[in-house]
Structure 1
Amino acid sequence: MAEQLRIRRITAYCLLGVCFVTALLIVLNLHTPVRTIAVLLFTGTAPGWALISYVNVRHLSVTWIGAVGLSLSVGLVVSQALVLTHAWHPEAAVLGLVFATAALLAHHVLRSRPRSVP
């Protein structure tokens, strides 16, 4: 169990890095292939992983399958909200999603830290 928590913590750190890179590339308005890859990697994994990390799933593969499914679902809901409100600002929506996801990932990192034994 401790090993699984360590892997999840490392994954959360990596996804926080993806959040940071994605936000940076969007804010700096850099149009490179790296931005495309970062946004696709972020939208396809991070939001769902940040949500599913609160569920006690025993197998890491099931966690990732759920994370991708949830990420796609979150992306669809956000996109549908943009269309229905006639406020098509995908960059702002991705930035909002980045900050919400980063907050959840930071909480996951803090709560999964190993406890020090006195």
Structure 2
Amino acid sequence: MLEQLRNRRITAYCLLGVCLLTVLFVVTGLTTPVRTLLVLVFVTTAPGWALISYVNVRHVSVTWISAVGLSLALTLVVAQMLVLTHAWHPEAAVVVLAVLTSALLAHHVVRSRPPREAGAR
């Protein structure tokens, strides 16, 4: 159980880094192949992992498959909303999605901390 919490915490930290770098690259307007790859990694993994981690899935492979599927579905819904509202601002949508995902990932980091010792302060 502690190993699973540790892995979730490490994954949440890594995806939190991806979210923050995505926001940084998009807000500053850097146009490099790294930005494209970073946004692609973010859009296909982070939002879904942040949501699916609230469900107690026992297998890591099922967690990741579900995370990718959920991320793609969520991204498609956001894109569809941008089209339907005639408010096509994909960069703003990515930033908002990354900020919301970061909040969920930060909660996972706090939630997966190991319990403190009874005598430690």
**Equivalent residue for 1:14?**
14
**Equivalent residue for 2:4?**
4
**Equivalent residue for 2:32?**
32
Q: How does 1:22-101 map to 2 (within 5 A)?
A: 22-101=22-101
Shift of 1:2: 1.1
Larger RCO (CA under 8 A, 6+ residues apart): 2
* Higher radius of gyration, 1 or 2: 2
Q: 1: CA distance between counterparts of 2:63 and 2:113?
A: 19
Q: Deviations over 1:25-78 (max 9, x none)?
A: 001100000000000000000000000010000011100000000000000000
Shift of 1:117: 1.7
Q: TM-score, normalised by structure 2?
A: 0.96
Q: TM-score, normalised by structure 1?
A: 0.99
SS at structure 2 position matched to 1:76: helix
SS at structure 1 position matched to 2:24: helix
Gaps of 5+ in 1: none
Q: 1: CA distance between counterparts of 2:110 and 2:17?
A: 16
**Equivalent residue for 1:111?**
111
Q: 1: CA distance between counterparts of 2:113 and 2:82?
A: 37
Shift of 1:97: 0.1
Fraction of identical pairs, as percent: 72
Moved over 2 A (4+): none
